[in-house]
Chain A
Amino acid sequence: MASENETVEPPGDEFKTLDEGNEPGGRRDGFLVASDSFEDFARLEEAKSSIKDRHPSGTINKIVREGSCEDPPDKQDEIESVSSGIASMATEEQNDSAFSDNGNVAEQVAPTLSASIHEEEELDEVHKPEWKGQKKHVFILSEAGKPIYSRYGAEDKLVTIMGVMQALVSFVQDSKDSMRCIISGKHKFVFLTRDHLLLVAVSCTSSSTPQLLLQLNYVYNQVLSVLTYSHINKIFKQRHNYDLRRLLTGAEKFFDSLLNLMDHEPGFLLSAVRCLPLPSAVRDVVAQSIVQHAKVKDLVFAILIANNQLITLVRMKKYFLHPADLHLIFNLVSASESFKTAESWTPICLPKFDSGGYLHAHVSYLDDNCAACLLLLTVDRDMFFTLSECKSKIVERLHRYNCIEAIREALTKYTYSISQVGIPDLRHFMYKSRSTAQFTSPELESPYHTASEQERIFGLYQYLHHRMHSTSRPLKILFHVGSYETLLGWVTSGFELYAVFGPLVTKPTAINSINKLLKWIKKEEDRLFILNSPTF
């Protein structure tokens, strides 16, 4: 052990001497907004008053104005027409909800609640053991208590229980306070109030309260992504009791798939994006092809993705994409089967980019045999045919340089195996480059090949992440020896590393392994990360 000691460089000092941006996968000129949105989010929770300023950033209008658009479309028009494309605005029937805002909710709460849960209409959902036994429920309801979405069970059968949630929240609001969470044994009940909407998670997973809040915020962003903030705001200002489900018909699948994705995909937790490991030469050709053939006015982002991994991203100068928005794009693609059959044209709002309006996306798969999906996002809603033409040219060039073949090959191997890293004691890891908001991690292999073991290991990562990123007591290093494995978390200004070892690893061995791992990542960074940031 003593001899090992000498060669070991323990965490804490090694990378301090390096310049910022020299950590593996680190760069100053990223294309993703690298602010740590997890901490941002927590802080925003503190100063919620500023939330309104955050919403309409008007980025889209700015682009429209900057581009020499001869006849800038009236924004109001645009939103109207788009939303009518999603669902027609039926005339509103005046159906008062059980918990109207002007009644004194406080006085109703106690007597109504205990009785109401037993109402017959709900017997079929609330009292079903399989409904009760779900590990993570998520509910969306309007400020007036109207059900909008439930992850499990039909939301119209859950009117009463959602009414209770709304009543609890508004009761607490009456005393100028706001509800955060309730804890009962292993269950956490987490509440997120946003303008006009209330989101509730009921979870007995290992997600911490801030992590559940983050997930609810993603769900909220998914709502915005379909409807835009401006639209929701307008509707609820007109009709407080509006049944938002009318506008979200067909959008349930996006919520379902987002929630499933968040249960195992670490990108959400890390606020970072995983890139498809690819030789940098191939990636460069892909980017160049896009830059060459998609140099079209008003095209903001061109994004090539596959299996929730980023292949390349080309952006308009001055504009950046937030990882949270990119996750919504991943979700859009993985939840939509129809994109596979035909080129599509779909509106999408990216809330971090501009929650006030839509971008228009030309979505198509590169090839019938390739899972890579190309999205061309523009502010001009009449550009389908122009972009369709661009896509053909891009694909043509990619074929010519054998890029599609290279991507297909990379995709058959999913990501990479931990054995390729060549560190025997290391079972698994997640590495995030903070400056580029990208992360890498190998495939989960034995002993983490079963669903329940994968859930457990994800729970351990959540625990590690939660403690390291506590708002009031953040940590630089956490080393934990448990019954089944040893965990190491290490956060510096440049990177975050979370590693899993066997339970019997010694501290010097673990630290030695970590230093080897960092060297390996540095060596492989061209393949694992996107290090340049092409623009149109």
Chain B
Amino acid sequence: MTSTKSPVSLANFFIFNPTLGPREGEEHKKILLYYPTDVDIDTKIKNIGLCEAIVNFTSTFTDAPCEVMHTQKRRQVFYQAEKNFWIVMTVTIPISHKTKDGVPYIEYHEDDVQDSVFQAVLKQAYKMFRFFMGPFSDIMDRGNVQSLIQRLEHFYYRYLPTLKLDNSDILDVFNGIHFLPLDKHTYLRIQSFTNLLEATFSQIKYTAFLYNDQLVWSGLEQDDMRTMYKYLTTSLFPPFLEQELQGSPVANNDRRGSSVATLHYGRYINGPPNMSDSSNLGKVPRVYINTESTCEECHLVVYRALSATVCLLVDASYPLQFDFYRSIDGLVGPKLSVLASDISEQYVKRSTPSTGEVQFKYIYFNHMNLAQKTTVHTDSKKSSNVNIPADILRLLSDINSDLSRNVDEGETIVKSITDCWVVGKKSDQREFYVVINQKNANLIEINEEVKRLCATNFNNIFFLD
């Protein structure tokens, strides 16, 4: 008799800096953030003390920083985000209630929680904070400990509840970007459009162009784009789309009266919600990019027409005023609307073919440009829409962590206990995973199958045979 498994859930999440409370009796000063909040101070101090003890203990044997601790019931992930700043996340191990010989017992599914996945989730949590708030040490330098604590609380108390830990998987490890391939002509038109924007408005330092959830063009550093992409696709776009679906903002059409020439579908997602109301500038977040080197501060203005979105990173020293928004709207709105409808024609053409009798599912990731493709997940957002069994999905992460640990190039083919075949290939910074559910196939047939698949879907990419 088995019951269903409990989900992986967040047990706690805390940030501390051991140098802030070095003396006995001052341990509480080390704590910069502790989630959940309804925990007494002694427990907080104890748990942080244990983490410090573990970090010290492991440093007796190795200079490599402590990464994870496994216990029967929990998994604790460590990340030294900046010098002396440690972020620790603890998640619960899924359990199920079983009985053996009439005696009930709890089974802990330790292998369901994969280190590489949750280490990636933790790093993402830091990078997202840094994107919106800047590095910990910079905040401390500019203000004091209290201002850092305030920002940490402000950010993480809202961010943490949105983590879908139970749906975390190999995509979190890749943390890649879905690109939209376009024909040369359209691609160049988009590039000339962004060039025009940056040339006209010198305060715009960088731009990025997306169509639906897919990236078309970006002038940002890859790592910043990766974080911004995550923010756009998981937290900015979904509520906006929902709002649009409900059809509430008819405001779009109201302002047509102003001039017939500016008839378009553009509007701000981050920026003034209504172009005929100059008193409401809307909310525009500040973001920190290139933090490893120069650390630039920018306003993140996001503008959308139909399914096309353009992100404008405006120099933070430039005060955003309604006139600026209006002139952007005037220039971008019509052009973006046209671009959007042109892309949509290509988009429809591209997305229809070859969905027939597919017996395989795959995930592709390119480390060089962060391009990611998946047919395992039914949508790019993090949800439980996965069309292969959970254990097989975890098998992909197993193979991925073996391949990333041992070799630059390699291939692994496995047959699971349930007779499902999984193939993982890595060559030239690219990784490719295929799941084939053909029970009676043998190794050679599977090999042929994968060759065929590579030839049809990735014909211009070289894979080691």
Contact = CB atoms under 8 A, between A and B. Distances in A.
Are chains A and B native binding partners rather than an unrelated pairing?
yes
A161 B107 contact: no
A475 B69 contact: no
B443 A110 contact: no
Do most interface residues of chain B lie in helix, strand or loop, or is the interface mixed?
A: mixed
B250 interface: no
Given A107-B46, A164-B53, A478 B414 contact: yes
A483 interface: yes
Contact of A189 (B46, B58, B394, B398): B58
Contacts, number: 179
B443 A476 contact: no
Interface string A158-179: 0001001101100110001111
Given A114-B56, A168-B54, A477-B443, A181 B398 contact: no
A110 B49 contact: yes
A114 B53 contact: yes
Contact of B391 (A161, A182, A183, A472): A472
A168 B53 contact: yes
Contacts of B417: 473-476
A464 B123 CA distance: 30
Contact of B408 (A475, A480, A483): A483
Nearest to A127: B60
Interface stretch (B108-116, B153-161, B297-305): B108-116
A473 B111 contact: yes
B115 A183 contact: yes
Contact of A161 (B49, B60, B108): B60
A95 B60 CA distance: 27
A414 B376 CA distance: 51
B57 A507 contact: no
Interface stretch (A7-15, A64-72, A216-224, A344-352): A7-15
A168 B72 contact: no
A5 to B, nearest CB: 6
Given A187-B58, A511-B444, A110 B414 contact: no
A204 B24 CA distance: 34
A110 to B, nearest CB: 3
Contact of B50 (A13, A171, A186): A171
B100 to A, nearest CB: 8
A444 interface: no
B50 A168 contact: yes
B260 interface: no
A381 interface: no
A117 interface: yes
Interface string A371-406: 000000000000000000000000000000000000
Contacts of A508: 444
Interface string B34-58: 0000000000011011101110111
A523 interface: no
Nearest to A46: B107
Contact of A183 (B67, B100, B407): B67
A229 B24 CA distance: 42
Interface in B367-421: 391, 394-395, 398, 402, 406-417, 419
A106 interface: yes
B53 A470 contact: no
Contact of A132 (B24, B60, B406, B442): B60
B24 A111 contact: yes
B358 interface: no
Contact of A507 (B54, B419, B443): B443
A480 B442 contact: no
B352 interface: no
A110 B443 CA distance: 53
A477 B70 contact: no
Interface string A28-50: 00000000000000000011010
Contacts of B261: none
Contacts of A10: 442-445
A422 B391 CA distance: 39
Contact of A467 (B72, B398, B442): B398
A421 B159 CA distance: 61
A182 B66 contact: yes
B240 interface: no
B74 interface: yes
Given A110-B53, A172-B71, A477 B413 contact: yes
B60 A182 contact: no
B60 A117 contact: yes
B293 interface: no
A137 B61 CA distance: 10
B444 A507 contact: yes
Interface string B417-447: 1010000000000000000000000111101
B71 A177 contact: yes
Nearest to A4: B444
Contacts of A107: 46
A191 to B, nearest CB: 9
Contact of B61 (A113, A132, A168, A481): A132
**Among A11, A183, A467, residue most surrounded by chain B Cβ atoms (within 10 Å):** A183
A162 to B, nearest CB: 11
B329 interface: no
B49 A109 contact: yes
A117 B60 CA distance: 8
B60 A186 contact: no
Interface in B84-111: 100, 105, 107-111
Contacts of A479: 411-414, 443
B213 interface: no
A126 B50 CA distance: 21
A47 B103 CA distance: 12
Contact of A114 (B52, B107, B109): B52
B444 A113 contact: no
A164 B61 CA distance: 13
B402 A168 contact: no
A184 interface: yes
A476 B53 contact: no
A11 B444 CA distance: 9
Given A209-B70, A467-B402, A12 B443 contact: yes
Given A113-B53, A182-B70, A480-B411, 17 more contacts: A12-B415, A107-B46, A113-B52, A168-B57, A172-B50, A180-B70, A180-B71, A183-B69, A183-B70, A184-B67, A189-B61, A467-B402, A476-B419, A477-B443, A479-B412, A480-B413, A483-B410
Ranked nearest first, the 4 interchain pairs of A and B with the lowest CB-CB distance are: A185-B64, A110-B49, A10-B442, A472-B111
Interface of A: 5, 8, 10-13, 46-47, 49, 106-107, 109-111, 113-114, 117, 126, 132, 137, 161, 164-165, 167-168, 171-172, 176-187, 189, 202, 204, 209, 463, 467, 470-483, 507-508, 511
Interface of B: 24, 27, 45-46, 48-50, 52-54, 56-58, 60-74, 100, 105, 107-112, 115, 391, 394-395, 398, 402, 406-417, 419, 442-445, 447, 464
